[in-house]
Copies of this chain bind each other. A is one copy, B any other.
Amino acid sequence: MKLALIGVGLIGGSFAAALRAAGAVSQVAGFDADADTTKTALSRGIIDRAATSAADAASAADLVVVATPVGAMRATFSEIAGALKTSAVVSDVGSTKCSVIDDARTALGAAFARFVPAHPIAGGERPGVEHAAADLFRNRLVITTSIPATDPSAIALVEELWRKVGARLERLSPEQHDKVFAAVSHLPHLLAFALVEMIARGPDAEWRFSHAGAGFRDFTRIAASSPDMWRDVCLANRGPLGEELRAYRARLDLLQAAVDAGDGETLHAVFTAAAAAKRGRRTAV
């Protein structure tokens, strides 16, 4: 099988490397807007050919994986639509799904029926193809959010490939997906960026950073993620994210009042509910 990878970063690069390691692809053409990225991917053996454009990469492919930031997806779909083989399957790895499906519907033309929206829950604080690893998806959750119009054989192909690289599959509706990830992924990233930026803006920022304990280090780890990617995610999922942020700000209003008033009961109730939830649950990914 010939793979085209458009957007060569941590996730796309790791998927290509994993598919090759699993013997699932024979040839990988890659395109990235950044030429240095393509060079790194070539030198690491993650792609075999540096394509001159997204359309060039896609033209011979049996599977096209679009792994750009979600804000670039619509333009990418437009570029490849005319170059795709009739049988080609298209998929993505974006963190939002309603926006990507809208983009594909608008821009992919007939190939939209063979577009399989997917979101691997993996990654971390070190973006870039230089950190790509073939084992990144082992035991990780990959969510597909196909719609009724999606060709079942295209879904089967994409899900089978993710299984081959060690992932567990789950199917959600695009709306379910975007709502839950607004809460458990997009909001935490936005909150972490906001805290680190607030400290960074202060006059004694370096001194404050140098006194960071365990709690703050967790925030800075999250805030090292790609600003481009997360701007796109926040815009693409702004409806559900805006709702979650509004609800969170209401909780902070309550906590501000408790702190100001020295209301230990409210603080304790909130902290206890959080600690109990942490102890009681099992994290699936």
Which of B200, B235, B271, B284 lies in contact with A211, CB distance below 8 A?
B284
Pairs A-B, 6 closest by C-beta atoms: A200-B277, A227-B271, A218-B218, A196-B274, A210-B284, A188-B215
| A185 and B270 contact, Cβ closer than 8 Å, known pairs A256-B246, A281-B206 | no
- In the complex, how many residues of chain A place their beta carbon closer than 8 angstroms to a beta carbon of chain B? 92
- With A256-B246, A268-B228 as known contacts, state yes or no: A283 contacts B199, CB within 8 Å: no
Tell me if A238 and B223 are in contact (CB < 8 A): no
B194, B275, B279: the one within 8 Å of A255 (CB): B194
Q: Do B285 and A200 touch across chains, with their CB atoms under 8 A apart? A: no
- Whether A255 pairs with B215 at a CB distance below 8 angstroms is no
Given contacts A218-B188, A256-B249, contact A196 B277 (CB under 8 A): yes
- A208 to B274 CA separation, bound complex (whole angstroms): 14
Within the assembled complex, what's the spacing in Å between the Cα atoms of A87 and B277? 46
Q: Please, how many angstroms separate the alpha-carbon atoms of A271 and B195 in the complex?
A: 10
Indicate if A276 sits at the interface (CB-CB under 8 A).
Answer: yes
Partner-B contacts on A (CB < 8 A): 71, 121-125, 141, 180-181, 183-185, 187-202, 204-228, 230-232, 234-235, 238, 241-242, 245-249, 251-253, 255-256, 259-260, 262, 264, 267-268, 270-279, 281-285
Contact present for A211 and B256 (CB under 8 Å) = no
Taking a contact as CB atoms under 8 Å apart, the answer to whether B214 and A125 are in contact is yes
The answer to whether B200 touches A184 (Cβ under 8 A) is: no
Which residues of chain B are within 8 angstroms of A190 by Cβ–Cβ distance?
A: 255, 259
Bound-complex Cα distance A192 to B224 (A): 18
A190, A205, A270, A273, most chain B CB atoms within 10 A:
A270
Q: Name, among A211, A223, A241, the residue most crowded by chain B CB atoms within 10 Å (CB to CB).
A: A211
A271:B141 contact, CB within 8 angstroms:
no
Contact between chains at A196 and B248 (CB < 8 Å): no
Q: Are A277 and B228 in contact (CB under 8 A)?
A: no
CB pairs A–B below 8 angstroms (22 shown) = A180-B208, A180-B211, A196-B274, A196-B278, A199-B277, A201-B273, A210-B284, A211-B285, A215-B222, A215-B225, A218-B219, A224-B279, A226-B275, A227-B271, A227-B274, A228-B268, A230-B267, A231-B271, A235-B264, A238-B260, A245-B259, A246-B256
B195 touches A275 (CB 8 A): no
Taking a contact as CB atoms under 8 Å apart, the answer to whether B245 and A252 are in contact is: yes
Interface contact A274-B210, CB-CB below 8 Å = no
Say whether B279 contacts A214, CB under 8 Å: no
Which of B184, B200, B215, B234 interacts with A208 by CB under 8 Å?
B184
